């Protein structure tokens, strides 16, 4: 029976995606701002990746003399979220790029619209910074100091400063970068972008799935899988197998230990703490089926900004930007009605907490200032979060342990 099942699974995963039930198309077009014509043999590569850096779908083609915008289409399994990367290569060298364009899980086709690619010009000795979600790099290009802000380059020259290293744009005195240790202050074309933090090299992520009664967990690294079951009485370490992908599901077969880990992209709540997780997990271990949750709860919060729709049951002011956005490194930022705010958040095993928020000091109409105070007070009272059936973010807390702030994806 096991051999028959394995044969059927292998046959299914060998099918082209278009032949698998539940596949869907991702379409869009690629463009760039520079007025540079592409040669006839320019190469286009578009890839959709899901969890575990799994390739969900890809397409490659030459332009054959066509110019931007260049339409593309690729097929991916339904029920899975992911990100799209795209490159334009000339003579085999990447010249334009866009990365991590998100798409949500679902069954219907996705139209990403026109994607603007940025030129690839590698900086040497580059230090990368995060300025409230804005990617910034400072390095050397052709023996010149260069500031790169969200794909735009500014040639910089050093100016005298009492401390740190201060650089001002050669062409625009309103663009300034002042670094002090691992932090910097950035002004672009006269606009204060606030405090920037140097980005540390990313550690290879380790995926965790876990369950209770009996306690078990699985750790999926770049090269190995560690299985622990029966509250630690049983452990196995195996080379990581390739992820098998089907609509809405990733699976890892480990026949050496008679185990199979299946992860479905459906919201899961931990049975002990109620914490929401992005995946439902099933570990088949011998003749036992162990249930649990998988992934990082932070992934449910990060990504596109959330548009706040309600605070304390009193709604929000129409046509006033009221948002909140979460970064993977624990930072939160947004607009509360008048001023921008930023701070830290922390996810523990049982809940969500916000630290003290710092806001800009602009004065606005009284109703906007009142809403701003309500938003910041609500964040201070949050104790946990959830995602409802419609996909809305519920920030929960207060004496009644009820939603005190409701937000939806922008």
* 363 backbone dihedrals φ, ψ, rounded to 5°: -95, 140
Split at pLDDT 50, 70, 90, the class of 17 is: very low
Q: In which residue are the tokens 């980005």 written?
A: 199
Q: Report the C-alpha gap between 367 and 399 in whole angstroms.
A: 26
| Range 311-323 average pLDDT | 95
Tell me if 347 sits within 8 A of 355, measured CB to CB.
Answer: no
Instruction: Decide if pLDDT at 226 tops 60.
Output: yes
Instruction: Decide if pLDDT at 356 tops 70.
Output: yes
DSSP-based three-state secondary structure for 256: helix
The verdict on pTM exceeding 0.75 is yes
Instruction: Decide if pLDDT at 142 tops 90.
Output: no
Spell out the SS3 assignment of the chain.
CHHHHHHHHHHHHHCCHHHCCCEEEEEEEEECCCCCCCCCCCEEEEEEECHHHCEEEEEEEECCCCCCCEEEEEEEECCCCEEEEEEEEECCEEEEEEEEEEECCCCCCEEEEEEECEECCCCEEEEEEEECCEEEEEEEECCEEEEEECCEEEEEEEECCCCCEEEEECCCCCCEEEEECCEEEEEECCEEEEEEEECCCCCCCCEEEEECCCCEEEEECCCEEEEEEHHHCEEEEEECCCCEEECCEEEEEEHHHCEEEEEECCCEECCCCCCEECEEEEEEECCEEEEEEECCCHHHHECCCEEEEEECCCCCCCCCCEEEEECCCCEEEEEECCCEEEEEEEECCCCEEECCCEECCCCCCHHHHHHHHHHHHHHHHEEEEEECCCCCEEEEECCCCEEEEEEEEC
Please write the tens of the pLDDT for every residue from 288-314: 999 999 999 999 999 999 999 999 999
Instruction: Decide if pLDDT at 283 tops 80.
Output: yes
Split at pLDDT 50, 70, 90, the class of 151 is: confident
> Which segment, 15-19, 69-73, 190-194, is predicted with the most confidence on average?
69-73
Please write the tens of the pLDDT for every residue from 254-265: 999 999 999 999
Please write the tens of the pLDDT for every residue from 103-136: 999 999 999 999 999 888 788 888 999 998 888 9
| Range 160-177 average pLDDT | 94
Return mean pLDDT, the chain. Answer: 92
Q: Report the C-alpha gap between 385 and 397 in whole angstroms.
A: 8
pLDDT score for 22: 86
Residue 83 pairs in a beta bridge with 49, 102
C-alpha torsion angle, residues 267, 269, 275, 281 (rounded to 10) = -80
Split at pLDDT 50, 70, 90, the class of 20 is: low
Q: 327 vs 203, which has greater pLDDT?
A: 327
Say which range, 15-24, 71-80, 154-163, 303-312, has the weakest mean pLDDT: 15-24
Give the angle 40-43-48 at the CA atoms, nearest 5°. 150
Helix (H) or strand (E) holding 60: strand 55-62
pLDDT score for 235: 95
pLDDT score for 201: 79
pLDDT score for 154: 95
């Amino acid at each position: 029976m096991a051999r028959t099942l394995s044969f059927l699974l292998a046959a299914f995963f060998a099918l082209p995606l278009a032949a698998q039930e539940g596949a869907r198309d991702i379409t869009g077009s690629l463009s760039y701002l520079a007025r540079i014509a592409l040669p006839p043999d320019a190469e286009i590569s578009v890839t959709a990746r899901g969890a575990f850096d799994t390739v969900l779908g890809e397409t490659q083609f030459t332009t054959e003399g066509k110019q931007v915008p260049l339409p593309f289409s690729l097929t991916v399994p339904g029920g899975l979220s992911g990100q799209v990367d795209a490159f334009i290569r000339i003579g085999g060298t990447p010249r334009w790029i866009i990365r991590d364009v998100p798409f949500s899980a679902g069954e219907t086709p996705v139209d990403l619209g026109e994607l603007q690619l940025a030129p690839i010009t590698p900086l040497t000795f580059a230090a990368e910074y995060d300025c409230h979600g804005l990617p910034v790099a400072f390095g050397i290009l052709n023996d010149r100091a260069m500031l790169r802000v969200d794909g735009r380059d500014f040639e910089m020259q050093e100016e005298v400063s009492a401390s740190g290293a201060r650089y001002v744009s050669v062409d625009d005195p309103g663009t300034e970068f002042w670094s002090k240790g691992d932090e910097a202050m950035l002004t672009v074309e006269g606009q204060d972008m606030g405090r920037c933090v140097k980005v540390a090299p990313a550690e290879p992520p380790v995926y965790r799935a876990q369950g209770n009664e009996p306690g078990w967990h699985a750790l999926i690294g770049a090269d190995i899988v560690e299985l622990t079951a029966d509250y630690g009485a049983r452990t196995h370490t195996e080379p990581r197998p390739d992820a098998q992908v089907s609509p809405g599901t990733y699976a890892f077969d480990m026949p050496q230990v008679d185990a199979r880990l299946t992860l479905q992209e459906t919201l899961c709540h931990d049975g002990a703490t109620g914490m929401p997780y992005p995946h439902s997990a099933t570990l088949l271990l011998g003749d036992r089926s162990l249930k649990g949750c998988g992934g990082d709860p932070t992934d449910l919060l990060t990504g596109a900004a959330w548009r706040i729709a309600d605070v304390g049951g009193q709604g929000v002011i129409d046509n006033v930007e009221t948002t909140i956005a979460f970064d993977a490194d624990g930072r939160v930022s947004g607009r509360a009605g008048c001023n921008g705010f930023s701070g830290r958040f922390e996810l523990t095993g049982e809940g969500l907490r916000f630290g003290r928020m710092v806001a800009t000091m602009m004065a606005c109409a009284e109703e906007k200032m009142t809403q701003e105070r309500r938003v910041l007070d609500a964040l201070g009272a949050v104790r946990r979060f959830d995602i409802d059936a419609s996909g809305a973010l519920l920030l929960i807390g207060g004496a009644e342990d009820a939603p005190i702030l409701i937000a939806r994806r922008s």
